[in-house]
Structure 1
């Protein structure tokens, strides 16, 4: 605290962030901008009058000012559309006409054009309502390939009149899932507009007037021109990688390469940050020194260059932070005021948080400042501790930087990304110096040379490509070492706080121990007040043990949880069911999938990184919930809405066993899935009606369909619904029936099988005789509630108390069928639907089944 008192700007910034955090996790409606201003006046008066106890009181008042400032900004972050008009909008979307101006570049990807509009008015139901320049996110579906060129010609600032469907962004539909509504709100956006065809848009080019909009238009055009020139300079497979690293343009970056770098903890290389700023300034200063410019001159030139470089690279929070810090540092160096880097960082953070309080919730802002703070405070200290272990100063500096950055960023990284590679430190230690000291400067030089003369830049680009290939080969080899990749569940805030507290404690004790040995003093330090000895080695061992215990708890927080849970994940029009048994086994039934319909000659509609349920939704959810491995994956059948998402699961997660229906549906997607499973040596189990299979002491399952006679041969079957795997699950005294997309004929076969094997259901899971009221507690309704299954005979036999329907919201098939819903209602069966409720979770407790639904919409 005494050190902080010597740095009032740093202390003030910390208190300001504290106020923001309190505002995020609590709410005091009376604390607004008005009360915040009054508290600020009181703070100034108390400090000016030098009243006794002013320091703690002023600190408390500053926290209150920050609380009110954040809450006031948050309360004003609402749509300009009056509430009465919002209530007239259809929740599923209303046809409107929007008038406004483009407020972002237009991104064209396949058959989709995306951009934001600064909306002036919106017209619907014959009336016009002002929006006052509110931001609206637009998704325009392109109907013909020629429309790509038309949409690409639209520019920021152009006037636009667009007719489409206006709706509110979708909230998270799964527990812990991505909340698109919250994400857009943090970017001051409250509405989505979907339209089809450029004919729905009337665009008028903006008049050339000097101003902010015109500057941004020039910047967009410059970025586009640089992107096209870099396509000529660098080989096609690497142009996207170099664009991401040099100008922050990620549109052409290979998604697979990004995933690889993410798993190895190298995404900071692909995101413009302080590293890029440092190299950029180093190249610029080096060139200007060779030109014999004075120090004052080249520092001033660099200050003026940085704002343009920030804009050119996309102005993300990390690059804004690094750019502003560099500008302040350069100005201080030019004026001879360079004393404390912490003050510079605090000033920049304060400026950014005043400009946009929501920056505090941005992962790039958090990681950028956290790592920078760690490097400022930790590298020299750790370097001193490692001096006796690592004699070489170069190796010691590299080890210190790598260790500090990895340890400091670890909790935030697993909070957002839920993965960590034990090889991350090695990848960073080896590749970051090569990329920052060779690839990045050479890439800048190649780009500048290519702007002047393309063949010169292209020659350098070919040389860089050889080095990039070596880098990619290295990352490929590291990624194949799957045993080093760890999946971490999202930690709680208390766990993160304890992590940093113990980390500081370890450093403090380690330093005391090292200093004692260096001075030749005893390690048992005596306190003159208490006359007791403080055993430094013992306390260091205890603190390290507590730290390791904390990591162990964070890695498997549910280790001692003996509650079974079945999670019907909302994957849209498809199935994905995750089961956690009382002893921590994980079973995944199906993986959802994205249905695509393409006619011959429509390859232009393909997007560079299309939405895929497995990679974008299912795998992130599994990681967030701490699923380190899947003990069993059951693919009920091979239709795309059940099997499509399993490719990402098989590629990114450990699968111990894979059960399928024993048939094969021809298609590239199915071939890829089974090739991945075979390559990763996953045992393939054809399902057949046999005996009960024990998963743990309280969980077992029994396959009811397909029958035994079909299990010995692999048939090619195009129509898969009738071949769905059907099985019973018994867990903690409850019984569940999972049905895939089975049809009426399959239901009859299963009923005949059950009547021929009554021993399967002679006793309920608790060991008592079967209760006549219900044979199963929960029935998964087949085929998303289609009329092709769930007959009255089927329901009469199983007599479930609860039915779960996995079905997509507003699907085009009309699922679930009204007849099926009527039969369920007449049978007094409670129905849970993912289209209305989002994810449905059912916990098995001693008192019965506990239900949770993500959405409250009836």
Structure 2
């Protein structure tokens, strides 16, 4: 601790981050910029006068200064349109924006997207309202293929007049879902503008003059030129991978490849970071040494090269951190000053947080600094521990770096990505040295030679492609070992704090043990005092046991929760219902889906990574909620808005059984879904009216429709609604009826069947047929939910899964009227976002994501 106290900048940075963190979760409006300035002045006076107890008091004051600074910054992050928005609804207004491009234009299929720096806005029939350069995110739909070239020709800094529709970014509509509104706000953007066709934009090229915008424009053009040159140097299927690694451009990166690297914990390879900086500097220094340049000269050249390299590679928080640390270290080396890496890291972190406090919420910032801190503090000590078992210094060093980086990054990784592969350490230990020491330097060489003479670069690119093929083959094999994949729910902040506390405790005990064994510690974080001899081995066992217990609790935090939960996920116009039973079983009913309407000859409209509900929304939500496996997936019928998202679910999550309506709908997507089910050996259960199926001691399920049929025959059925699977769920003595998209004819048929076969229902249902919750069929369409259906089941609650502003007019006014006349409480996903109904001993409790 004494050694740590000698690093005041490190302590100050930690206290500054503490103040920011408190400001994120609390609000003290009296703490403003002026208050922070007064607190800072008091801190300086107290420290200068050396008053007693000044250290804890100054620490508290510094936390207050940081709190006020963050709160002042956050309060200023509002739209210039806020006064107007408080007086009238601006969402959906037709407007004209005047300003300039503030980002490169990205053209993907039939969409061009960019950020606009808006100087003014004009509503119909009004004068222009000043915006003062406010950032607006623009999505421009391209109507013809020729418009792609027009949009691609627009450049950062060009003057722009754009007509379109103003919209407010959508907040998260599901619990734990991606909050686009918050994401844009953290980038100081509060409005979206959507437009159709390039004729809605009048663009005037910017005048060539030296300015920050012009420098960024030149940087965009250079990145674009390098990207095009890499398309010539590397094979098409690998160009995106090399662009991501060399210049931080991810637009052409294969989404499947990114997913593969993500599951193996290798995404840091695809993100420009300290590894790239180290290799880049190593190559530059090696070349300049060969040219016999003096040390002071090549260090100075490297210092000047780094800012350009940071800009060239996209200036993400991780590369900014690594670049700034390298600049400071190079300057210290050139001046002959003593280098303290912890101090350098703290200076860089503090500077970045002063520049933009929202960096604290950026995952790349968090992982970059955490891993760097872990490597600085822990690698040497872990390396000393491994001395007894690993004789090779190279293997020992690689193992130490891999272990420390994995341990340090683990809680942040599962918080954001909700997965961890037990093979991640192996993938990192084997592939990172190969990529960092061979692929990356050779890629830089190929790029440099390719700029001068394409065939020369292409020859090296061909050699690299052979090594890349080996790397991809290895990652393919490792990824398909599903038994080593672990899905983790997002942990709470207290859980993360306890994790790091246990880690620090274990580190301190191991450090003390090494000291007693004769080792010398470079940095002491924990010091055990006292005259009594402490049995450190027992303390170490207790600390490791506590960490393992914490991991066990974090892996399944709901294991002792005996309430049931039915979650009607908002997937837009479609159904996706997740059921968690009191004993932790998980049932997924339908998976939503994205409807696409594409005419022949419109292949140019297809995007590289189109939005797909299962991949982008459903699977991340399931992982975030700690669904390790799905005990049963029910596909009520095979229309796209119910089946489309299941392809991603089946591909990425373990599924024990799959219940469907016993038919097949013609189409490539359904064929692919069932091929995946067969390949993963998931049992297929054609639905048929059945007796009760026990799910757990408090939950059982009964299929009511389709009625009796020959399960040996699979029919081809194009119109699926009338063949929807209907089932009754009983959970903790509550009853739920799930109906898919069944129609009125099916409702009548089922009611008549149940009246003729009363033995199918249990004793209580025979008497009054009353259920607690009805999932309204077909999104509230007028083709179902008849008066007879409601009279038969007498539900207390009704839930309608329906997309907002859908083109079908769902839910139908007649259906809503019937539900109201029967005094049924209605919950709708289009108005309320996700609907959750929790079953406790006392009854059913509801909560919704969006409150009126």
Give the TM-score normalised by structure 2: 0.98
Contact between 1:662 and 1:710, CA under 8 Å: does it hold in 2?
A: no
Q: Flag the 1:527–1:369 CA change in 2: closer, same or farther, 3 A.
A: closer
1:834 matches 2:833: no
Aligned partner of 1:523 in structure 2 is none
Is the Cα–Cα contact under 8 Å of residues 385 and 511 in structure 1 kept in the other structure?
no
Q: Which runs of 5+ in 1 are unaligned?
A: 520-525
3-state secondary structure, aligned to 1:709: coil
* Aligned mates of 2:508, 2:348 — CA distance in 1: 29
Q: Deviations along 1:627-674, whole A, 9 cap, x unmatched?
A: 000000000011111001000000000000001100001111111111
Match of 2:534 in 1: 534
Is the aligned partner of 1:800 residue 2:800?
A: no
Larger mean CA deviation between 340-349 and 540-549 belongs to: 540-549
> Is 1:782 matched up with 2:744?
no
User: By how many angstroms is 1:796 displaced?
Assistant: 1.0
Partner of 2:96: 97
Q: Does 1:596 align with 2:591?
A: no
| 2:640 is aligned with 1:645 | no
Structure 1's 530 and 401: CA in aligned 2 closer, same or farther, altered over 3 A? closer
Cα deviation digits, residues 246-277 of structure 1 (max 9, x gap): 00000000000000000000000000000000
Distance 1:155 1:90 in 2: 29
Q: Distance in 1 between matches of 2:684 and 2:345?
A: 55
Using the alignment, how far apart are the partners of 2:84 and 2:448 within structure 1? 56
Alpha-carbon distance in 1 for matches of 2:308, 2:528:
57
Structural mapping, 1:387-466, within 5 Å? 387-466=387-466
**Contact 1:808–1:835 (8 Å) recurs in 2:** yes
Q: Is 1:488 equivalent to 2:483 in the alignment? A: no
CA shift at 1:509, angstroms?
Answer: 2.3
* 1:44-193 → structure 2 map (5 Å cutoff): 44-91=44-91, 93-127=92-126, 128-193=128-193
Distance 1:126 1:66 in 2: 45
**Residue in 1 that maps onto 2:39:** 39
Deviation string, structure 1 residues 481-513 (Cα, Å, up to 9, x no partner): 000000000111111111111112222223333
Q: Is the 8 A contact 2:157 2:206 kept in 1?
A: yes
Would you say the 8 A contact 2:572–2:830 is kept in 1? yes
Deviates more, 1:33-42 or 1:216-225: 33-42
SS state at 2:115 partner: strand
Does the CA-based 8 Å contact 1:329-1:338 persist in structure 2?
no
Would you say the 8 A contact 2:414–2:488 is kept in 1? Answer: yes
Displacement of 1:40 after TM fit? 1.2
SS of match in other structure, 1:629: coil
39-48 vs 400-409, which deviates more? 39-48
2:23·2:67 contact (CA, 8 Å) conserved in 1? yes
SS at match of 1:712: coil
Q: Which residue does 1:811 correspond to in 2?
A: 806
**Superposed CA offset, 1:202-248 (max 9, x none):** 11111111100000000000000000000000000000000000000
**Deviation at residue 782 of structure 1 after TM alignment:** 0.6
Deviating more after overlay: 755-764 vs 365-374: 755-764
Report 1:340-359 matches (<5 A).
340-359=340-359
- Tell me the CA shift for residue 515 of structure 1: 4.3
Q: Against the structure 1 CA distance between its residues 819 and 373, is the aligned structure 2 distance closer, same or farther, given a 3 Å change threshold?
A: same
Distance 1:658 1:842 in 2: 24
How many Å separate the matches in 1 of 2:444 and 2:129? 49
1:838 Cα deviation after fit:
0.3
| Runs (5+) with no aligned partner, structure 2 | 520-526
- Distance of aligned partners of 1:271 and 1:528 in 2 relative to their CA distance in 1, 3 Å threshold: closer
C-alpha RMSD of matched pairs (Å): 1.4
Q: Does 1:850 align with 2:845?
A: yes
Q: Secondary structure at the match of 1:298?
A: helix
SS in 1 for 2:709: helix
- When the two structures are superposed, what TM-score results if normalisation uses the length of structure 1? 0.97
Tell me: CA distance 1:429–1:182, structure 2 relative to 1, closer, same or farther (3 Å): same
Deviation readout 1:336-362 (Å, 9 max, x if unpaired): 113201110011001100000000000
Retained in 1: the 8 A contact 2:329–2:339? Answer: no
Paired residue secondary structure (2:823): coil
Q: 1:784 to 1:710 in 2, by over 3 A?
A: farther
Query: Matches of 1:388 and 1:413 in 2, distance apart?
Result: 31
Contact 2:726 2:740 in 1 (8 A): yes
Q: Secondary structure at the match of 1:71?
A: helix
1:825 to 796, 820, 835: 820
CA–CA separation in structure 2 for the residues paired with 1:23 and 1:69: 9
The Cα shift of 1:529 comes to 5.7
Quote the Cα distance in structure 2 between the aligned partners of 1:89 and 1:828: 33
SS at match of 1:486: strand
Query: Paired residue for 2:522?
Result: none
Distance 1:715 1:6 in 2: 77
Superposed CA offset, 1:572-616 (max 9, x none):
110000000000000000000000000000000000000000010
